[in-house]
Amino acid sequence: MDAPSTTQVQQVREITRIERTGAHSHIRGLGLNDSLEARAVSQGMVGQLKARRAAGLILEMIKEGKIAGRALLIAGQPGTGKTAIAMGIAQALGSDTPFTAMSGSEIFSLEMSKTEALTQAFRRSIGVRIKEEAEFIEGEVVEIQIDRPATGTGAKIGKMTLKTTEMETIYDLGQKMIEALTKEKVQAGDVIAIDKASGKISRLGRSFTRAKDYDAMGPQTKFVQCPEGELQKRKEVVHTVTLHEIDVINSRSQGFLALFSGDTGEIKSEVREQINDKVAEWREEGKAEIVPGVLFIDEVHMLDIECFSFLNRALESDMAPILIVATNRGITKIRGTNQQSPHGIPIDLLDRLLIITTKPYELDEIKQILKIRCEEEDVETSDDALNVLTKIGKETSLRYSIQLITLSSIISRNRKAREVSIEDVKRVYEVFLDEARSSDNLREYEQYFMFNDLSNTKQETESKMET
Ligand SMILES: Nc1ncnc2c1ncn2[C@@H]1O[C@H](COP(=O)(O)OP(=O)(O)O)[C@@H](O)[C@H]1O
Ligand SMILES: [Mg+2]
């Protein structure tokens, strides 16, 4: 079994990094200063200082990467920024540390057993940093010459001259190389590197000697020295893959393509054992390092007792990621049992968790968050419209008022106004109910709805956290 190649890894990376747009796209980090104190407003984060500071400490722990199997619980009322804080941690970790986000309820909708789904989530959250020696051709392009076939069809061929400060060589180009060069828009005067194994071309920059050719420059043109020495070079390259990616690439029945469809199915335990052995070997030989990442399970009260006991055991492995879970439930039933427990989490698991709580926002914090959301969504509002949205946010919920931004901006655009006015907000507020008004509405028109059971709904609401 070989380490996954750089190209495979790059393709994989592109798949795993798509998730984070939408509700939390304004969040770019935890907004801490160098001594890990939370700044009042920073990186899209507002207030919730204590929780953010605590998250910062966890972040440091993750970055040091030495401790496996620690776990954190973020508890608080709905809309107090639990998910936002987890996303802040993800942003601050950067792209080299794996971060997997899932919701507790997902476990039940996958076409695999619950424990398999959790095992995959765990292994997605552990990175393996692999060091490889790779051979490159690196030089400044002197000339590219492409011959079109006389008949007009058939493969193109060509030649490319590359040089370093000491030598110059002419290479024959095949169809694939020509395509790659065209795609990267390589031209004379560029300094390029070609990975000999995969044929991947990267442009390193423009050569300084060509600094006067204004035609070929964009605003971000980077200038580099013409490489020295031989054209052929050996360089160490480092790339990070997750254990899950290695599992899938090596699982014969699925193969690498399964990563694209997301349809990886269950992976045999023998495959995993083999891979664990191989990774252990690479670590001993100094070829690989383990990078513990983060597994974030939102709405963790949706897991059941089997999942919880799986988590308990999995956290004890020396290759466990940092687990972050979040919930808005208070004392409630543990799924799959008749027992009650804080947050619906069994006591033995709770005992392993560090707990941070989030508090409801003050008026000025809500206003600030709404302002950031307006910027994120490119919506202009008048001052008093923003004030009204803020009030609505305080009296109903932050989420509801964030939703109203988008809706009222549609109305304002329809009347060709440049900014959202109080009237626009008022109209959407009248049309779309918040949770409280909707409940009132239900109580009032009770008899017209199907499956009506008021006593049940009341219980549900009461089990939400009350801090
Ligand atoms: N402190 C904060 N700073 C910036 N945006 C926040 C903050 N707290 C919450 N939000 C935003 O408010 C919305 C609701 O918060 P969310 O994190 O989903 O709440 P929870 O997960 O606690 O129910 C999201 O769009 C979130 O990004
Ligand atoms: Mg949430």
Alpha helix positions (H), 335-418: 347-350, 363-376, 383-395, 398-414
Out of 94-98, 189-193, 232-236, 328-332, pick the least confident. 94-98
Query: Is 298 within a domain?
Result: yes
The count of structural domains within the chain is 3
Strands 353-358 and 126-147: unpaired
**Ligand 1 site-directed mutation target among 20, 21, 24, 373, most atoms within 8 Å of CB:** 24
Same domain, 351 and 368: no
Q: Decide if 140 contacts 163 (C-beta within 8 A).
A: yes
Query: Is 64 within a domain?
Result: yes
CB 80 near ligand 1, within 6 Å:
yes
CA of 397 to the centre of ligand 2 (A): 13
Which ligand number lies closest to the CA of residue 43?
1
CA of 118 to the centre of ligand 2 (A): 19
CB 23 near ligand 1, within 6 Å:
yes
Q: What is the pLDDT of residues 346-401, one digit of tens each?
A: 999 999 999 999 999 999 999 999 999 999 888 999 999 999 999 999 998 899 99
Same domain, 233 and 137: yes
CB 46 near ligand 1, within 6 Å:
yes
CB 402 near ligand 1, within 6 Å:
yes
Q: What confidence score (pLDDT) does residue 239 get?
A: 83
Which ligand number lies closest to the CA of residue 86?
1
CB 127 near ligand 1, within 6 Å:
no
Q: What is the pLDDT of residues 431-451, one digit of tens each?
A: 888 888 888 877 777 766 666
Model confidence at 157: pLDDT above 80: yes
Query: Is 221 within a domain?
Result: yes
CA of 328 to the centre of ligand 2 (A): 8
Torsion of CA 64, 68, 74, 80, to 10 degrees: 40
**Ligand 1 site-directed mutation target among 21, 327, 398, 467, most atoms within 8 Å of CB:** 398
Q: What is the pLDDT of residues 99-148, one digit of tens each?
A: 999 999 888 877 788 999 999 999 999 999 988 888 899 999 999 998 87
Instruction: Place 14 in a pLDDT band, splitting at 50, 70 and 90.
Output: very low
CB 30 near ligand 1, within 6 Å:
no
Query: Is 304 within a domain?
Result: yes
CATH number of the domain encompassing residue 61: 3.40.50.300
Instruction: Place 263 in a pLDDT band, splitting at 50, 70 and 90.
Output: low
Same domain, 222 and 177: yes
Higher pLDDT, 373 or 256: 373
- CA 86, distance to chain mean position in Å, is 10
Last residue of one domain, picked from the residues 317, 333, 358 = 358
CA of 431 to the centre of ligand 2 (A): 25
Q: Compute the distance between CA of residue 204 and CA of residue 424 in angstroms, rounded to an integer.
A: 51
Q: Decide if 333 contacts 459 (C-beta within 8 A).
A: no
**Ligand 1 site-directed mutation target among 19, 25, 42, 83, most atoms within 8 Å of CB:** 83
Query: Is 118 within a domain?
Result: yes
- Report which residue type is found at 395: E
> How is residue 253 written in tokens?
């029945």
DSSP string, 167-232: -EEEEEE-HHHHHHHHHTT--TTEEEEEETTT--EEEEEEEGGGTT-GGG--TT--EEPPPPS-SE
CATH number of the domain encompassing residue 206: 2.40.50.360
Out of 219-228, 278-287, 357-366, pick the least confident. 219-228
Higher pLDDT, 311 or 270: 311
End-to-end CA distance of the chain: 53
Unique residue bearing structure tokens 């971000």: 220
Query: Is 242 within a domain?
Result: no
Q: Report CA Rg, the chain.
A: 28
Same domain, 98 and 143: no
Same domain, 368 and 405: yes
Q: What confidence score (pLDDT) does residue 214 get?
A: 59
Nearest by Cα to 345 from 329, 369, 361, 367: 329
CB 142 near ligand 1, within 6 Å:
no
Polymer length in residues for the chain: 467
Q: Decide if 370 contacts 390 (C-beta within 8 A).
A: yes
Q: What confidence score (pLDDT) does residue 15 get?
A: 41
Query: Is 387 within a domain?
Result: yes
CB 330 near ligand 1, within 6 Å:
no
Same domain, 117 and 54: yes
Same domain, 233 and 136: yes
CA of 425 to the centre of ligand 1 (A): 21
Question: Quick one: which atom of ligand 1 is closest to the CA of 76?
Answer: 22
Q: Decide if 257 contacts 10 (C-beta within 8 A).
A: no
Mean pLDDT across the chain: 84
Model confidence at 218: pLDDT above 90: no
CATH number of the domain encompassing residue 416: 1.10.8.60
CB 399 near ligand 1, within 6 Å:
yes
Q: What is the pTM of this model?
A: 0.74
CB 178 near ligand 1, within 6 Å:
no
Nearest by Cα to 44 from 19, 25, 22, 23: 25
Query: Does residue 261 sit in helix, strand or coil?
Result: helix
If you average pLDDT over residues 144-154, what whole number do you get?
77
Last residue of one domain, picked from the residues 342, 358, 374 = 358
CA of 327 to the centre of ligand 2 (A): 7
Same domain, 111 and 188: no
CB 356 near ligand 1, within 6 Å:
no
* Residue-range definition of the domain harbouring residue 328: 41-125+293-358
CA of 87 to the centre of ligand 1 (A): 10
Same domain, 413 and 380: yes
Instruction: Name 435's Cβ contacts closer than 8 Å, sequence gap at least 6.
Output: 396, 397, 400
Higher pLDDT, 199 or 104: 104
Higher pLDDT, 462 or 303: 303
Same domain, 161 and 220: yes
Query: Is 422 within a domain?
Result: yes
**Ligand 1 site-directed mutation target among 80, 358, 394, 467, most atoms within 8 Å of CB:** 80
* CA-nearest residue, atom 17 of ligand 1: 81
* CA-nearest residue, atom 1 of ligand 1: 46
| Letter string b/e over residues 14-36, b meaning 16 or more CB atoms within 10 A of that residue's CB | eebeeeeeeebebbebbbbeeee
Which ligand number lies closest to the CA of residue 28?
1
CA of 366 to the centre of ligand 1 (A): 10
Q: Decide if 154 contacts 314 (C-beta within 8 A).
A: no
Instruction: Place 17 in a pLDDT band, splitting at 50, 70 and 90.
Output: very low
Instruction: Place 175 in a pLDDT band, splitting at 50, 70 and 90.
Output: confident
Q: Decide if 133 contacts 144 (C-beta within 8 A).
A: no
Model confidence at 21: pLDDT above 60: no
Which ligand number lies closest to the CA of residue 298?
2
